[in-house]
Structure formats: structure tokens, C-alpha cells
């Protein structure tokens, strides 16, 4: 559905993306995570054909975004972090206006979504709250039932219940073969719906992996030592290590099957705990 191959983008002396490569498969919810300025929005602008990469190639629906931008935009739905809407239009008018660019059925679907979001049809966009404007943008993006939905912080301004219902509906879309590309700071919510995650740090890709595989192989190890020093670490890869005197906390990948025996037999280990981390803990470890 989406491919990025060795994509780099610079703005003057600032590198927004550095040699990024990954693939988004059809029928998945793909989450792109990163701090502000990590390159998430630049990635989305490249996919939409709004920004040309300096190096590398990108395809969306098998098409080049710079050459086939109109066709791509016709077939996808897009919700920006700050929706650009015609403030002088009412909720009804902006739906009717947008419906003129799509096949029959758009208006009917739009009305259903607006009703479900409890939006006032006859209120002008300029008089809506931030959350209501986000709901209008979501309604417009979903009404033509796009093959691919690209969301840049889509739940910003939505109340907790609506956020949850909306994100769960993205899983339903994926189950029908549709694809969702999601950029979000709401890591706890992403964990509930994404099947693949990518982590960007300062323009560089730190990780791209199926969430189930990531959570299976990632472990948090907390050890209290008898004396300051080293011990036999049963993790194949150490991503983050924090030490405070005799207390050591390690996040890593691929735990030795005999980990408990290894730690129990280490003469410098007083006690230990091994547990699976949350996606937020994984994210923070890779961002350190």
C-alpha cells in the first residue's frame, strides 16, 4: 500500500528525514511514532505529493506521489493535525461541496457520520469547537470509503469516548482490507489498535516492526545487586540501561530462555524482576 525507499529530506541545514525505508501492507493499521520535529508530518506530506524528497523514492497505491498526486488524493482519505476547512460554510454545506468531487454515496455516508458525531448540520465551521472541527474533518475523509486513510494526530481535540470509538473503528476498517496510516502522540491508544509501529527519532528510523513481535521480544529487567558492579545480563540486545547505585534497570530484546537460572546463579544478584513493557515504555527506551 505504501513504500518508502531510502527517503531523505532536508530544509536548508535541517535534516527532516534521513534514509528512511519501510513498507505498509494492505489491511493493516500502521502507526508512526516520534517526538515533535522527528519527521512524521514531513513523511505524510511526501506521501501526499505535497513535498518532494531530496533522495529516495516513495509509492502510494503503487503510484508516484509527485507524478500521480491527483489520483492518489482521489483514492485516499486524509486528516491533518490542523484541518483546513472553509469557515464560512456550515457543516451541511461543506459536506455537499466535497460530495461534488466524489461518486454518489458520499453525501449519504457523510450525513451518517455527522449524525453519529452529533454535529450541528446548520452551524458554520467557524463557530465549532476544536473537537467538532476535527469530527467534520474525519467525516469528510471517511465518506468516500477510501482504500487508504492517512491520519496526522486525528484524535486531537476529541473527548476520550469518541477517541476510543474512532480508533476502534480503524481496526474494523483494516479487517475489511482497508489500510490506515496513523501518526499520533497518543501511544496508549495506538497500542490498542496498531498492528505495526515505526519509531522516528530526530529524522532517523529507530524501529519498524509488527507490534506483536515487538512486545514478544522486548523485556524490562530490574535487578538489585549485592554490591556495585556487573552481572550476567540475559538479554541479547540492550537498548537502554539505567543504574542508580546497586539498582539497575535494563530494557532490551531477546531474553535468554534460561534467564531466571542465569540471574539466580549470579553471585552479585540479590533480587530481580523480568516483565513485558508497554508500548510507551518501549517508545521511551528507543527515544533515549
pTM of the model: 0.90
User: Could you give the CA distance from residue 16 to residue 199 in angstroms, rounded to a whole number?
Assistant: 14
156 pLDDT higher than 70? no
8 A C-beta contact, residue 40 and residue 200: yes
Calculate mean pLDDT across residues 125-151. Answer: 91
DSSP secondary structure letters along 105-146: THHHHHHHHHHHTT--TTSBGGGS-HHHHHHHHHHHHHTT--
150 close to 44: Cβ distance less than 8 angstroms = yes
Strand, coil or helix: what is 278?
Answer: coil
pLDDT over 90, % of the chain: 74
pLDDT in tens, 37-88: 888 999 999 999 999 999 999 999 999 999 999 899 889 999 888 888 999 9
> How far apart are the C-alpha atoms of 282 and 220, rounded to whole Å?
9
* pLDDT tens by residue, 187-216: 887 888 899 999 999 899 999 999 999 999
Question: Which 3 state secondary structure label does DSSP give 1?
Answer: coil
Per-residue pLDDT reduced to its tens digit, 173-184: 888 889 999 998
Sign of the CA dihedral running 54, 60, 65, 68: positive
Contact criterion met (CB below 8 Å) for 106 and 99 = yes
| C-beta of residue 282 within 8 angstroms of C-beta of residue 251 | yes
Answer yes or no: are the C-beta atoms of 198 and 205 closer than 8 Å. yes
- Cα 194 from Cα 214, distance rounded (Å): 12
Q: Answer whether residue 157 shows pLDDT above 70.
A: no
Beta-ladder partners of 221:
250, 274
CB contact at 8 A, 15 and 203: yes
Length of the chain: 288
pLDDT in tens, 14-41: 999 999 999 999 999 999 998 888 889 9
Instruction: Give the orientation angle of helix 106-116 with respect to helix 130-142, to 10 degrees.
Output: 150
% of the chain beyond a pLDDT of 70: 99
**Domains, the chain:** 2-202 (3.40.50.300), 217-287 (3.30.70)
In 10 A of CB 25, how many CB atoms?
13
DSSP string, 36-56: TTSSHHHHHHHHTTSS--SEE
- 80, 150 in Cβ contact below 8 A? no
Block residue for cell numbers 539466580: 264
In 3D, which of 106, 188, 191 has the Cα closest to residue 146? 106
What is the Cα–Cα distance from 282 to 285, expressed in whole angstroms?
5
Amino acid at each position: 500500500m505504501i513504500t518508502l525507499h531510502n527517503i531523505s529530506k532536508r530544509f536548508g541545514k535541517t535534516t527532516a528525514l534521513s534514509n528512511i525505508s519501510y513498507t505498509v501492507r494492505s489491511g493493516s493499521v500502521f502507526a508512526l511514532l516520534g517526538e515533535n520535529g522527528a519527521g512524521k508530518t514531513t513523511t505524510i506530506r511526501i506521501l501526499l505529493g505535497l513535498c518532494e524528497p531530496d533522495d529516495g523514492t516513495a509509492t502510494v497505491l503503487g503510484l508516484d506521489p509527485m507524478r500521480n498526486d491527483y489520483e492518489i488524493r482521489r483514492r485516499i482519505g486524509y486528516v491533518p493535525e490542523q484541518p483546513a476547512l472553509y469557515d464560512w460554510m456550515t457543516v451541511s454545506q461543506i459536506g455537499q461541496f466535497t460530495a461534488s468531487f466524489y461518486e454518489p454515496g458520499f453525501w449519504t455516508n457523510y450525513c451518517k457520520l455527522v449524525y453519529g458525531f452529533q454535529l450541528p448540520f446548520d452551524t458554520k465551521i467557524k463557530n465549532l469547537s476544536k473537537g467538532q472541527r476535527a469530527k467534520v474533518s474525519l467525516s469528510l475523509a471517511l465518506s468516500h470509503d477510501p482504500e487508504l486513510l492517512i491520519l496526522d494526530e486525528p484524535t486531537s481535540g476529541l473527548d476520550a469516548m469518541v477517541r476510543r470509538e474512532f480508533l476502534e473503528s480503524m481496526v474494523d476498517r483494516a479487517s475489511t482490507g482497508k489500510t490506515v496510516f496513523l501518526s499520533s502522540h497518543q501511544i496508549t491508544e495506538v497500542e490498542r489498535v496498531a498492528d505495526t509501529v515505526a519509531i522516528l527519532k530526530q529524522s532517523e528510523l529507530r524501529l519498524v516492526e509488527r507490534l506483536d513481535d515487538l512486545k514478544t521480544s522486548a523485556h524490562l529487567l530490574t535487578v538489585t545487586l549485592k554490591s556495585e558492579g556487573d552481572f550476567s545480563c540475559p538479554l541479547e540486545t540492550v537498548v537502554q540501561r539505567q543504574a542508580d547505585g546497586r539498582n539497575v534497570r535494563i530494557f532490551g530484546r531477546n531474553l535468554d530462555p534460561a534467564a531466571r537460572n542465569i540471574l539466580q546463579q549470579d553471585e552479585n544478584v540479590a533480587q530481580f524482576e523480568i516483565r513485558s513493557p508497554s508500548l510507551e515504555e518501549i517508545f521511551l527506551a528507543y527515544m533515549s
